[in-house]
Amino acid sequence: MAKYDYDLFVIGAGSGGVRAARLAAMSGAKVAVAEEHRVGGTCVIRGCVPKKFMVYASEFSHHFKTAKSYGWTVEGATFDWQAFLAEKDKEIARLSGIYVRNLQNAGAELAHGKARLLDAHTVEVDKVGTRTADKILIATGGRPWAPKDLPGVELAISSNEAFHLPELPRRIVIAGGGYIAVEFAGIFNGLGVETALVHRGPNVLRGFDDDVRSHLAEEMEKRGITVVLGTQHTAIEKTSGGLLSRFSNGHEVESDVVMLCLGREPYVEGLGLEAAGVKLTERGAVAVDDHSRSNVENIWAVGDVTDRINLTPVAIREGQAFAETEFYGRPTAFDHETVASAVFSQPPIGSVGLSEADARKVCGKVDIYLARLKPMKYAFNGSDERALLKLVVDCATEKVVGCHVVGPDAPEMIQMAAIAIKMGVTKAQWDAACAVHPTLAEELVTMREKFVPMGLGQVA
C-alpha cells in the first residue's frame, strides 16, 4: 500500500498550479489539486483575460474618433455595460471549463474547497476532508493589498470587484501607479467614465524606463485622464452624491467609485504554513530556492505566492520547471532574467531588459537610441498622440540590453524583441534585420543616431 494518498497535492488551480499538476499527472503520478474559488485562478477569472476583454471594449471609443477622419460616420454609438459583462463572463466560464477538462484528462483529481496544511504531508480541504501527499506544491497566488488604517477603506473596490460593477460609474478615482492602476484608468476612460488617477510617487510605473513612464503619463492625459502625482488618500467618505476622496495635498474629489490598486500581497492566510514549518520572506511570500523548493524538503511553491516576477507566464514556467525536475527526472530552474512584459494601458507598453537607469548601474556606459513619432494611423486625424521607441545598448559588449516601446501594438512587438535580446543580440546584428514597411516596429531597426539628452550634447 502507498505511504501517502497522492504523489503530489497542489494547493491552488491558477496559472502555476494547473501547469504543474497537469504535467505531473501526465507522467503517471497520482495528483490532486485544491481550489477554493474557480479553476483558472487570477489570470483567467479576475486578471489578465477579463482585463484584456475590458481593454478591447474600451478601445472602441478611440477607434470611433479615428474612424471619422477615415470617412466613416459612427454617430450614435453607445455602450451597454451589462451586455458586455454577460459576454465576458460567458467566455471566462468557457475558459475555466477548459482548464477543468485539461486537468481531468491528464488524470488529476480536483478538490473544491480551501486547503490548509496540517503538517508537511497532510492537507485538509474544507468539505472534502484530509489527504496525505508525498510532495506538496503551494500555488495560491496573490491578492489585492489595501491599507487597513485608511479611514473609509471599506468603501473602495479593488480590481477583483472592477470586473463585476453593477453599473458603469460616471466618475472614478483610481489610486495607485502600477500596471493595474494605469490599465484600469485607460479602461474606464475609454468607456466614457470621468477618470482620475492619483499616485503618491513622482511618476507612474515604478521600475519601468523613465522615458516610458513620463511618456505614458503624458499620453494618458492627452486621452482625457486626470493624472495627479505626489499625493495619496487620507480618507474616503460617503456623501449624498457618492464618495469623497480626501488627499494628503489637501484636495478633495467626489466620485461614484474609488478603486485602490496599491499593490498585491502573497495569499498565504489560513494556509497552515506554520504547522508545516514553511518559512516566509520579509514580504510575506513563501521563501524558495532556484528550483522553487521551500525550506521544508517536500514542499515547493510557484507563482505569485513566491513574489518573484508576478506574471502569468512566469508562474506557468515555474510550475513547469518544478514538474520537469520532480516528475520527469530533468532538473530545471526557470531563468528569471530578461522576462518581457506588457502594460495594456492606452497607448500600451512593451518592455524587455534593462531600463536606461538600471543599465547605467549594471553596464556603466550605455548608448541610447530613441524615437518619438506620430503613429501613421493618426497621420491626418488631428491627434497629437506620439509613440516612443527606445533601445539601450551596453557600450562594452555592444549588446542590446533593453527595448522599450509605447504605442500601438507594443505588446505584440516586444515578444519578438525579447527573443533577440534573450539570445544576446548586438546592435549591429539587430540593425542587420531589414525593416518591415510601413510599420511602427520598423523604427526599431532604423535608429542609427545615438540619443544625447539635452544639455549633455555640448560637453564633448
> What are the residue numbers of the active site?
437
Binding residue for ligand FAD, selected from 21, 139, 156, 259, defined by CB under 6 A:
139
Binding residue for ligand FAD, selected from 55, 236, 299, 315, defined by CB under 6 A:
315
Q: Which amino acid type is present at position 372? A: R
Site for ligand FAD in 75-114 (CB under 6 A): 114
Which residues, in sequence order, are CB contacts of 459 under 8 Å at separation 6+? Answer: none
Binding residue for ligand FAD, selected from 7, 35, 394, 443, defined by CB under 6 A:
35
Binding residue for ligand FAD, selected from 4, 26, 48, 246, defined by CB under 6 A:
48
Which residues, in sequence order, are CB contacts of 129 under 8 Å at separation 6+? Answer: none
11 binds ligand FAD (CB under 6 A): yes
Cell 501547469 belongs to: 19
5 binds ligand FAD (CB under 6 A): no
- Let me know: does 53 contact 30? Beta carbons within 8 Å: no
* Residue 57 beta carbon to ligand FAD: minimum distance, rounded to whole angstroms: 15
Which residues, in sequence order, are CB contacts of 110 under 8 Å at separation 6+? Answer: 13, 32, 33, 34, 35, 39, 100, 103, 104
Q: Which amino acid type is present at position 235? A: A
C-alpha cell at 76: 450614435
23 binds ligand FAD (CB under 6 A): no
**Of 16 and 177, CB closest to ligand FAD:** 16
141 binds ligand FAD (CB under 6 A): yes
Interacting span for ligand FAD (CB under 6 A) from 308-316, 369-377, 384-392, 401-409:
308-316
Binding residue for ligand FAD, selected from 8, 10, 13, 421, defined by CB under 6 A:
13
Interacting span for ligand FAD (CB under 6 A) from 77-85, 233-241, 298-306, 354-362:
298-306
* Residue among 303, 227, 293 at smallest CA distance from 43: 303
* Residue among 91, 74, 102 at smallest CA distance from 18: 102
* Residue 197 beta carbon to ligand FAD: minimum distance, rounded to whole angstroms: 15
Binding mask 167-186 for ligand FAD (x = CB under 6 A): -------------x------
Full strand arrangement of the beta sheet holding 257-260: 226-229, 194-199, 171-175, 257-260
Measured CA to CA, the distance from residue 133 to residue 6 in angstroms comes to 5
Which residues, in sequence order, are CB contacts of 395 under 8 Å at separation 6+? Answer: 363, 364, 365, 366, 367
* Residue 30 beta carbon to ligand FAD: minimum distance, rounded to whole angstroms: 19
57 binds ligand FAD (CB under 6 A): no
Which residues lie near ligand FAD (CB under 6 A)? 11-17, 34-37, 41-43, 47-48, 51, 114-115, 139-141, 159, 180, 267, 271, 303-305, 310-313, 315
